[in-house]
Structures are given as structure tokens and as C-alpha cells.
Structure 1
Amino acid sequence: MMRILERSLMDRCPIEIIYMTSQLKCSKRRILVKKVEKDYITAYCYFRRDVRNFRIHDILAASPILFHSDRMISRLDQNQ
């Protein structure tokens, strides 16, 4: 997973994550990583339309977003 987070930072490409919120609910987010630290990442969250901090420990899954013609599909979507 760290490789995907670092790749988003280096390539400036969005990824999709499954994140455990502070209320212990799972949330699917599309983000663009801005900074990777030891315990958290700073990323632009397309859902909140703001820069947010995400604890790495609370990221349950991360997936690159695949581009197909005129729409984006994440690998997480393909499993459903």
C-alpha cells in the first residue's frame, strides 16, 4: 500500500482509498497525495474538496485509478 501512496505523490495521480473514519465507519475516498509522513499522509480529498490528513493506520485499502475512454474506474470498483 505504501508503494501506491508514494506513487500518487511522485506521479501526481489520484488514487482511491477505503478509509476508517473516526466514527469507525468505512469511507471510500478519491485522493491526491501531497505528502507522506511516518504515520499519516496529507492529500487533497475530492469528496471533501479540501486538503485532509489521513492516518496511514486507518487506510484499509488503496488502489490506482484506471482511465478508460472518457471515465475513470478504480480497481476497487472492478471487484463489485
Structure 2
Amino acid sequence: MKRLLELCFEQKKMIEIVYLSTDGAITQREVWILSISDEILTGYCYLRTQTRAFRIDQILSARIVKARRQTDVV
């Protein structure tokens, strides 16, 4: 999973993730990755229309999606 996220970041690909929040809610989000560390992925979340931080161990699945227009990326 981590390697896929790193690859998407390096290749500037948008991802769709299924994320488990700390309160147990599961959401599906399209995310443009801005940075990635060992534990945290920071990206622009199109569901919330703002930059968000996601714990990598809370990402249940990830896949590459067709990118939006470059002007849509913050």
C-alpha cells in the first residue's frame, strides 16, 4: 500500500482511498497527494474541499484514478 501511495505521489497521480477515521467512520475520497511520510499522507481532499492529513495505517484501500484538470488541484 505504501509503495503505491509513494508511486502516485512521484508520478503526480490522483488516488481514490477508502479511509477509516479514528471515530470508526468509513469514507471514500479522491485525494491529490501533496506529501507523504512514514505515517502520514497529506493531500487535497475533494470530498472535504480542503487539505487533510491521513494516517497511512487507516487507509483501507487505494487506487489510481483519472486526474482532474490541473487547475482543480490546490
TM (normalized to structure 1)?
0.76
Which residue number in structure 1 is paired with residue 51 of structure 2? 51
After TM superposition, the structure 1 stretch with the greater mean CA deviation from structure 2, 45-54 or 58-67, is 58-67
- Say whether residues 1:12 and 2:12 are aligned partners: yes
Q: How does 1:40-79 map to 2 (within 5 A)?
A: 40-66=40-66
Shift of 1:65: 1.3
**Structure 2: gaps (5+ residues):** 68-74
Moved over 4 A (4+): none
What's the TM-score once normalised by structure 2's chain length?
0.81
Given that 2:40 and 2:54 are in contact with CA atoms closer than 8 Å, whether structure 1 keeps it comes out as: yes
2: CA distance between counterparts of 1:3 and 1:13?
Answer: 13
Aligned AA for 1:31?
Answer: V
Identity of aligned residues (%): 31
RMSD of aligned residue pairs (Cα, Å): 1.4
What is the CA–CA distance in structure 2 between the aligned matches of 1:28 and 1:17, rounded to whole Å? 6
